């Protein structure tokens, strides 16, 4: 129990930062949504021709999954962080506000419209004195729906590099820290409920013309805004004196540990740092290219296959050299060097199964594969590496199952799948009693961990000096140990980073 509360305290320390950013994105997107959608909806009720195109556009935006809409904004807007999150969430907020306002106004009792005209109201007076007030409850209902959706969907903006309560959820899911996931979910739910109630209270205040309730709603809103944003605004102020180095991380344990390690090293060297974790892989690379992220750890095989679009397999040295040259020439990105460990995809099976089927290498799998199930993360089965090993070793599995990386081990434990595509540095390979099958044909490209710097950061001599100790200093065993500390022993990632730091300095 003390461990639990310690964990909780650690999570809550992050709350001002995450909540502030979450609130800022949410409120901005909703305000923009209301400012744009109310006049648009009114125009739609006046010009019938607009109705179909406007509502269809908003509906289409709504059908795009939140995470995809957010991710699409990154290449479209050419940047990461607040702006793409704001635009995506704004698009997401539109439909309920538009549809409810249009419905509310067009369903005002025709006898009221006739009365208003008959009494001599102009079209404008009709709108402000009759149509909008009568439609108000329906319009407010739309805004409330939007609010709840946007607060929820804003958790996904973590993936495009904007901090949010989603940071708790993403990292918590990946390193199996359930406290973190719960803190994120509860904070988001509470925020949604509070904002929803405040809007409802404002509506009651308006319709009942109750100044007390109106004041209460305004006070509540001010408290939420100032409470949420103050720590955030304060942070901006204090950091202006020193340049901020932005460290990126993808969504798995090793990445969280290494970003914490780099953060520690840079802080010690006097840099002011900002960590952007749980980012999508290609989003992170794009962010590095245009300098929104200064440094992160990637893998040679990932750059080779995903960005250089190479499907041939070369030795590790050649891949590293060609990749370094390509990054420099094509994007001005500096590859500072290999960290020392390799985190390749590897096919692993339970020891018992390996023994009974006499499996040593992937080649041994080919005759058994029609009776086996293979599980992997979301991307593997659409990656060139999969096609390479499948075709090289003539694999024909009964079924391929995609799931969250963190769940694969539980699945093979429960015998729901027989083969997993593990990451070779994963501490859970040993912990779950799995064996890695050799790749004698070298069908899988090498996945040397490399430290990449953005074009701007590449000019920063002090930065390079501060990060240089990482290069060539962490071998597979060390990385596996650090991963195990987090995945198996449930230690915080910072502790694993400290462990690495102690072992680097030799």
Cα radius of gyration rounded to whole Å, the chain: 27
Instruction: Specify the residue, 116 or 335, whose C-beta has the smaller distance to another protein.
Output: 116
Instruction: Specify the residue, 118 or 270, whose C-beta has the smaller distance to another protein.
Output: 118
Could you tell me how far CA 75 lies from the centroid of its own chain? 15
Please, what is the minimum distance in Å from the beta carbon of residue 102 to another protein? Answer: 19
Q: Note whether 446 and 311 are within 8 A (CB).
A: no
Please, what is the minimum distance in Å from the beta carbon of residue 107 to another protein? Answer: 13
How many Cβ atoms from other residues are within 10 Å of residue 111's Cβ?
8
Please, what is the minimum distance in Å from the beta carbon of residue 199 to another protein? Answer: 18
Instruction: Specify the residue, 136 or 218, whose C-beta has the smaller distance to another protein.
Output: 136
Within 13 Å of residue 415, how many CA atoms lie on the same side as its CB?
A: 3
d(CA 382, CA 421): 13
Question: Interface with another protein by CB under 8 A: which residues?
Answer: 109, 111-112, 114-122, 125, 129-130, 133-134, 136, 207
Please, what is the minimum distance in Å from the beta carbon of residue 114 to another protein? Answer: 6
The closest of 449, 481, 261, 428 to 341, measured between CA atoms, is 449
The beta strands (E) that lie in 308-397 are given as 334-342, 345-350, 373-376
C-alpha dist (Å) from residue 73 to 67, 85, 216, 469: 10, 8, 37, 36
Instruction: Specify the residue, 122 or 415, whose C-beta has the smaller distance to another protein.
Output: 122
Query: Structure tokens of 13?
Result: 């320390």
Q: Note whether 447 and 301 are within 8 A (CB).
A: yes
The closest of 416, 434, 439 to 352, measured between CA atoms, is 434
d(CA 136, CA 193): 20
d(CA 253, CA 25): 27
Q: Note whether 132 and 68 are within 8 A (CB).
A: no
Instruction: Specify the residue, 121 or 269, whose C-beta has the smaller distance to another protein.
Output: 121
Please, what is the minimum distance in Å from the beta carbon of residue 111 to another protein? Answer: 3
How many Cβ atoms from other residues are within 10 Å of residue 204's Cβ?
16
Please, what is the minimum distance in Å from the beta carbon of residue 201 to another protein? Answer: 18
d(CA 177, CA 165): 15
Instruction: Specify the residue, 201 or 482, whose C-beta has the smaller distance to another protein.
Output: 201
The closest of 416, 376, 414 to 395, measured between CA atoms, is 376
Instruction: Specify the residue, 100 or 300, whose C-beta has the smaller distance to another protein.
Output: 100
Q: What is the DSSP letter of 472?
A: T
Please, what is the minimum distance in Å from the beta carbon of residue 118 to another protein? Answer: 4
Instruction: Specify the residue, 111 or 238, whose C-beta has the smaller distance to another protein.
Output: 111
Please, what is the minimum distance in Å from the beta carbon of residue 141 to another protein? Answer: 16
Q: What is the DSSP letter of 378?
A: T
How many Cβ atoms from other residues are within 10 Å of residue 47's Cβ?
10
Instruction: Specify the residue, 109 or 360, whose C-beta has the smaller distance to another protein.
Output: 109
Please, what is the minimum distance in Å from the beta carbon of residue 121 to another protein? Answer: 7
Instruction: Specify the residue, 213 or 495, whose C-beta has the smaller distance to another protein.
Output: 213
Q: Note whether 365 and 419 are within 8 A (CB).
A: yes
Please, what is the minimum distance in Å from the beta carbon of residue 71 to another protein? Answer: 44
Query: Structure tokens of 496?
Result: 């694993």
Please, what is the minimum distance in Å from the beta carbon of residue 122 to another protein? Answer: 5
d(CA 212, CA 69): 41
d(CA 378, CA 68): 14
Instruction: Specify the residue, 116 or 162, whose C-beta has the smaller distance to another protein.
Output: 116
Please, what is the minimum distance in Å from the beta carbon of residue 128 to another protein? Answer: 12
Instruction: Specify the residue, 111 or 241, whose C-beta has the smaller distance to another protein.
Output: 111
Q: What is the DSSP letter of 252?
A: S
Query: Structure tokens of 152?
Result: 């929820």
């Amino acid at each position: 129990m003390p461990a639990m509360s310690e964990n909780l305290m650690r999570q809550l320390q992050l709350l001002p930062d995450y909540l502030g950013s979450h609130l800022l994105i949410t409120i901005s997107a909703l305000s923009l949504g209301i400012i744009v959608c109310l006049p648009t909806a009114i125009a739609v009720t006046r010009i019938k021709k607009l109705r179909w195109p406007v509502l269809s556009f908003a509906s289409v935006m709504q059908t795009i999954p939140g995470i995809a809409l957010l991710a699409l904004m990154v290449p479209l807007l050419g940047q990461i962080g607040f702006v793409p999150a704001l635009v995506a969430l704004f698009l997401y907020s539109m439909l309920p506000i538009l549809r409810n306002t249009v419905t509310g106004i067009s369903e005002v009792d025709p006898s009221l419209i006739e009365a208003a005209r008959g009494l001599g109201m102009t079209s404008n007076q009709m709108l402000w004195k009759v149509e909008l007030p009568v439609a108000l409850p329906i319009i407010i209902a739309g805004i409330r729906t939007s609010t709840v959706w946007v607060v929820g969907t804003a958790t996904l903006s973590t993936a495009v590099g904007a901090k949010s309560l989603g940071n708790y959820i993403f990292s918590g899911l990946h390193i199996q820290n359930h406290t973190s996931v719960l803190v994120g979910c509860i904070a988001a739910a509470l925020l949604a409920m509070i904002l929803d109630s405040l809007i409802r209270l404002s509506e009651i205040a308006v319709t009942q013309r109750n100044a007390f309730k109106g004041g209460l709603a305004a006070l509540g809103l001010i408290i939420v805004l100032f409470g949420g944003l103050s720590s955030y605004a304060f942070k901006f102020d204090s950091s202006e004196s020193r340049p901020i180095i932005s460290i990126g991380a993808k969504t798995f344990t090793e990445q969280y540990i290494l970003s914490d390690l780099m953060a520690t090293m840079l802080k010690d060297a006097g840099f002011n740092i900002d960590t952007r974790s749980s980012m999508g892989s290609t989003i992170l690379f794009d962010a590095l290219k245009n300098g929104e992220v200064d440094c992160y750890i990637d893998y040679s095989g990932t750059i080779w296959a995903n960005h250089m679009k190479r499907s041939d397999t070369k030795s590790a040295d050649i891949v590293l050299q060609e990749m370094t040259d390509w990054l420099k020439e094509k994007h001005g990105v500096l590859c500072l060097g290999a960290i020392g460990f390799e985190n390749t995809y590897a096919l692993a099976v339970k020891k018992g199964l390996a023994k009974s089927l006499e499996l040593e290498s992937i080649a041994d799998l080919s005759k058994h594969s029609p009776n086996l199930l293979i599980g992997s993360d979301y991307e593997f089965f659409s990656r060139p590496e999969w096609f390479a090993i499948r075709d090289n070793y003539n694999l024909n599995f009964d079924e391929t199952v995609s799931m969250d990386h963190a769940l694969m081990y539980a699945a093979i434990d429960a015998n729901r799948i027989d083969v997993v595509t593990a990451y070779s540095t994963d501490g859970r390979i040993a912990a779950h009693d799995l064996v890695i099958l050799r790749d004698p044909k070298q069908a899988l490209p090498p996945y040397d961990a490399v430290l990449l710097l953005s074009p701007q950061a590449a000019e920063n001599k002090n930065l390079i000096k501060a990060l240089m100790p990482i290069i060539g200093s962490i071998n597979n065993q060390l990385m596996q140990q650090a991963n195990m500390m987090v995945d198996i022993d449930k230690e915080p990632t910072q502790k694993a980073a400290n462990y690495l730091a102690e072992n680097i300095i030799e």
